[in-house]
């Protein structure tokens, strides 16, 4: 074992790396509730075509039994003390996490360790969970406002693993065997690609000792394979007849990867255009002034090697072309006219306020710092993040708008 290594990255976060490569990040909070999770740098893009949906399926089944616990005992372990277990899967990450009274840190750490390293995936549980996932797929197919995002990914990332949806297909999910699951875990669950994230009232030395006991003794398993980077984007269009009450549409373009120097500028531009606020440019233009849409939003997702920007809206068919024209007009305004100093300051202030409010949600904070540490191996204190946002210039926003909001580079999916 290497000597104990503790690094204070700021007054807010503590980090530690165990000998097997698993990393820990913790923020002390004096509240009564603790938040503890393990994040893995693996997701649906790491699947082969035959494994389509298996990362998400494992997330479902990993709670169904270990070498010493049955499914009921796993669920009851936290719920008996008022806690909760949860998990999620994205295209590049998997997370398992728990919420509990801070005095139950040892219970949560031991349980998540048992689930991560000792799950047995019993056959009868796999069979039952395949039907649960099939119903999840059915539910998704019944929700065009969600399904259209997967179709857009398929269009933009055509032929690349990022293109495939996270849930898989009926056929692929029903074909999975226990050996398929263990093979995927062997190939993709690497200790140097795991981060333990914690927010709660536990002292650093106690937390490190606790995690060292349950996670630090696992055999080292380092990643040697690399993901295939996406290349060769070509704008495309797809229209499908869905017989929905609304016309649903997504338009978008490739954007910056997760380490690109313009990523912060892109985040600010996206928030200004169609982010969380009701005063976003698209919401004001399409919903508040014209009453053409109930849902109108833009999003920017960054991956390790690429990124994606898109705008989604739903509207009556008779308003569809008018709505598109309004959206492209907003694109042109941001691409042709530099923001004034007051506009820029207002956008920066709004973004900082949203981040500050989100940081008050300790569960969200635990997941955010865990994900950030997983991919960047560091987490900037809030004050540093705020300074990066305040450093964005009107010229930078104009340059990014001209690059990303170029209509000639846009792809489009429409459901009529």
Per-domain boundaries in the chain: 6-214, 237-415
Q: Please choose, from the candidates 8, 39, 29, the residue with its C-alpha nearest in 3D space to the C-alpha of residue 369.
A: 39
pTM passes above 0.85: yes
pLDDT on residue 4: 37
Fold of 6-214: Cytochrome Bc1 Complex; Chain A, domain 1 (3.30.830)
What span, in angstroms and rounded, lies between the C-alpha atoms of 131 and 134? 5
The Cα-based distances of 396 to 89, 333, 390 in angstroms read 33, 15, 12
User: What is the gyration radius of the CA atoms in the chain, in angstroms?
Assistant: 23
pLDDT on residue 178: 97
pLDDT on residue 404: 98
pLDDT on residue 233: 97
pLDDT on residue 27: 96
Q: Rounding to the nearest 10 degrees, give the CA dihedral for residues 254, 59, 193, 203.
A: 120
Per-position pLDDT tens, the chain of length 416: 333 343 333 447 999 999 999 999 999 999 999 999 999 999 999 999 999 999 999 999 999 999 999 999 999 999 999 999 999 999 999 999 999 999 999 999 999 999 999 999 999 999 999 999 999 999 999 999 999 999 999 999 999 999 999 999 999 999 999 999 999 999 999 999 999 999 999 999 999 999 999 999 999 999 998 899 999 999 999 999 988 889 999 999 999 999 999 999 999 999 999 998 889 999 999 999 999 999 999 999 999 999 999 999 999 999 999 999 999 999 999 999 999 999 999 999 999 999 999 989 999 999 999 999 999 999 999 999 999 999 999 999 999 999 999 999 999 999 99
What span, in angstroms and rounded, lies between the C-alpha atoms of 38 and 112? 8
Q: Are 123 and 178 in contact (CB under 8 A)?
A: yes
Q: Do domains 6-214 and 237-415 have the same CATH topology?
A: yes
pLDDT on residue 359: 87
Fold of 237-415: Cytochrome Bc1 Complex; Chain A, domain 1 (3.30.830)
pLDDT on residue 5: 40
């Amino acid at each position: 074992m290497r000597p104990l290594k503790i690094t204070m990255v700021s007054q807010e976060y503590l980090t530690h790396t165990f000998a097997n490569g698993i990393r820990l990040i913790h923020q002390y909070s004096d509240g009564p509730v603790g938040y503890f999770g393990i994040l893995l740098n693996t997701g649906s893009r790491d699947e082969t075509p035959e494994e389509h949906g298996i990362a998400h399926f494992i997330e479902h089944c990993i709670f169904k039994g270990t070498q010493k616990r049955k499914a009921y005992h796993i669920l009851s372990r936290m719920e008996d003390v008022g806690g909760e277990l949860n998990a999620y899967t994205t295209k590049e990450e998997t997370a398992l996490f728990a919420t509990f009274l801070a005095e139950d840190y040892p219970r949560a750490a031991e349980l998540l360790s048992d689930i991560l390293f000792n799950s047995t995936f019993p056959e009868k549980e796999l069979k039952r969970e395949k039907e649960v996932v099939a119903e999840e797929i059915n539910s998704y197919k019944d929700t065009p406002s969600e399904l259209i995002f997967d179709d857009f990914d398929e269009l933009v990332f055509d032929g690349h693993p990022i293109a495939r949806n996270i849930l898989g297909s009926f056929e692929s999910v029903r074909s999975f065997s226990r050996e398929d699951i263990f093979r995927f875990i062997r190939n993709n669950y690497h200790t140097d690609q795991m981060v333990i994230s914690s927010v709660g009232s536990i002292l650093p030395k106690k937390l490190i000792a606790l995690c060292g006991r349950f996670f630090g003794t696992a055999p080292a398993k380092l990643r040697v394979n690399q993901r295939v980077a996406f290349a060769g984007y070509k704008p495309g269009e797809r229209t499908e007849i869905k017989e929905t009450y609304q016309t649903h549409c997504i338009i978008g373009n490739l954007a910056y990867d997760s380490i690109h120097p313009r990523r912060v500028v892109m985040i600010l531009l996206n928030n200004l255009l169609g982010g969380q606020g009701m005063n976003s440019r698209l919401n004001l233009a399409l919903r508040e002034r014209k009453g053409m849409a109930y849902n109108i939003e833009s999003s920017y997702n960054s991956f390790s090697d690429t990124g994606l920007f898109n705008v989604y809206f739903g509207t009556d068919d008779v308003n569809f072309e008018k709505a598109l024209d309004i959206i492209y007009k907003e694109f042109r305004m941001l691409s042709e006219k530099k923001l004034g100093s007051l506009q820029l300051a207002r956008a920066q202030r709004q973004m900082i306020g949203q981040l500050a409010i989100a940081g008050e949600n300790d569960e969200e904070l635990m997941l955010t710092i865990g994900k950030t540490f997983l991919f960047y191996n560091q987490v900037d204190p809030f004050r540093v993040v705020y300074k990066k946002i305040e450093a964005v210039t009107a010229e930078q926003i104009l340059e990014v708008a001209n690059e990303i909001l170029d209509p000639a580079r846009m792809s489009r999916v429409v459901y009529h």
